[in-house]
Amino acid sequence: MRHLVARGVRHFTVLTGPDGEATKITEAMTDSAFPCEVHAVPWDSTDPPQLTAILAELSRPLAGVLHGVPATDDGVLGSLAPDGLDAALLQVAAPVWWLHEATLGLAPAFFLVTSPTAGLLPRIGEVAQASGTAFVTALVQHRAALGLPGQVIAWERDADGGRHGTSPLSDDRAADLLGAADGGPSVLVPLGLVAGELADREQYGGLPPLLAALARTRIRDGGRTDPQDGRPGGGASDAERLRERLTGLPADEADEVLTELVRRQVAAALGHASAADIDPDRAFRDLGLDSLLAVELRNRIGAATDLRLPAGLLFDQPNAAALAVHLRTLLAPPEKAPSAAVFAELDRVEALVGEAATHDEDVRAGVVARLREMADRLTGRAADGAAADRDRVRTATDEELFSLIDGLDSTI
């Protein structure tokens, strides 16, 4: 409210929750350094007629509206009962709509809404918040289209933590930006951007469209490196380069590469500055991964590897080391048994033998001789075996020699 006081506003009617809250707000603002008069009025935000009555009893013309969209209980869509989603939307979106309707005939000079960034930069588990704040943003733009004052400022407070590679704003910094926003676009999103983190998340497909466009611009301007080995990014996707890198690696080295990838993704999901903070043998749940972050991590790893991974991935693979081994079985080409190459070549030789059968007798005899030599090497009948055969021939009787010749004739 500091910037409103700086603009000359001296009288505030603050709509609050229960009576006790109204008293606390009045005392806090009266004791502040702001030279202003504060009148706090309880308002049940589910009661539009009460709002109309409050506005009708104002002692002065309405100069403007300032509304802060609250945070709400939330979750993934499947976890919210229909009445729970309705209640959350009633808390987030309905008060802004009722303020819009109730003030249409009062001509306020400004209609300013501060909102979380969930509607523009949603995270997993923010179905109600994202839906409600998206509605608020659309309503403010609707007011602008009607020629009515309206502005929404979506920002993240320190208490909320950063999201998607951004850093939150302090209350003082947000107040300064709020004061500078007067007369600006109808939708403002002041963010602290962490360039390296933003680009890193974009590589794994973990950014909403608004930030992905910024990350791609920075990558075009400043270059891009492969997250695995630092090589400049090219036409191939990160997943393709990862598969290339894994090709030919022994299992233990492939596990090291994939463990580092998993640690990087866990660190990003948890907001850690470095993968070094992630113990690969520590259970995901002990690292602080709840069910919502587990879904985000599954999506990040799926984008990094180009794999369709099951929803229960992190329940089946309890830590980074185990998950890396599982990913290797999905990504690394299977090791071929040495015999596979031998039999593949034999299949080729067999095809050539079939062709040789169509040639003349000399060619066929030469092929048979070569095949016998190869068979001898395979069965151990090499040079020593040939020498032993010659000795048997020299010492054989006439009857033994005729029997040997008969055997050769039948073989050929």
Contact 75, 126 (CB under 8 A): no
The residues, ordered by sequence, that sit 6+ positions from 288 with a Cβ below 8 Å of its Cβ are 270
Of the listed ranges 219-233, 294-308, 333-347, 349-363, the least confidently predicted one is 219-233
**pLDDT at res. 27:** 62
Least confident of 110-114, 162-166, 233-237, 335-339: 233-237
Tell me the pTM.
0.56
pLDDT above 90 coverage of the chain, percent: 12
Instruction: Give the whole-angstrom CA distance, residue 254 versus residue 84.
Output: 46
Per-residue pLDDT, averaged over 107-115, amounts to 87
C-alpha–C-alpha distance, residues 295 and 284, integer Å = 12
Beta-carbon count within 10 A of 14 CB? 16
Distances (CA, A) of 155 to 43, 117, 162: 25, 6, 10
User: What does the pLDDT read at residue 355?
Assistant: 80
Q: Specify the DSSP element, H or E, that contains 167.
A: strand 166-167
Q: In which band, very low, low, confident or very high, does the pLDDT at 326 lie, cut at 50, 70 and 90? A: very high
Average pLDDT, the chain: 75
3-state secondary structure of 400: helix
Q: What is the pLDDT of residues 113-159, one digit of tens each?
A: 888 887 777 666 677 788 888 899 999 999 989 999 998 888 765 54
Structure tokens at 189: 């999103």
Structure tokens at 211: 């930030």
φ, ψ at 64 (rounded to 5°): -175, 175
Are 157 and 171 a contacting pair, CB within 8 Å?
yes
pLDDT of residue 201: 63
DSSP per residue, 174-194: HHHHHHHTTTS-SEE---EE-
In the chain, helix, strand, coil percent, each to 5?
60, 10, 35
The pair phi, psi for residue 230, each rounded to 5°, is 80, 5
Strand partners, 157: 169
Share of the chain above pLDDT 70, in %: 65
Cα separation of the two ends of the chain: 106
364-371: which pairs have CB atoms within 8 A and are 24 or more residues apart?
365/412, 368/412
- Is the pLDDT at 224 greater than 50, yes or no? no
| pLDDT at residue 412, as a whole number | 47
How far CA 289 is from CA of 259, 271, 278, in Å, comes to 17, 11, 12
Q: Which residue has the higher pLDDT, 329 or 19?
A: 329
Rounded-to-integer distance, Cα 63 and Cα 359, Å: 105
Q: What is the pLDDT of residues 254-276, one digit of tens each?
A: 999 999 999 988 887 776 767 88
* Most trustworthy range by pLDDT among 85-94, 248-257, 356-365, 368-377: 248-257
At 330, is the secondary structure helix, strand, or coil? Answer: helix
* pLDDT score recorded for residue 231: 36
Return d(Cα 67, Cα 95) in angstroms, integer: 9
Pick from 151-160, 274-283, 307-316, 338-347: least confident? 151-160
Q: What is the pLDDT of residue 336?
A: 55
Say yes or no to pLDDT of 321 above 90: yes
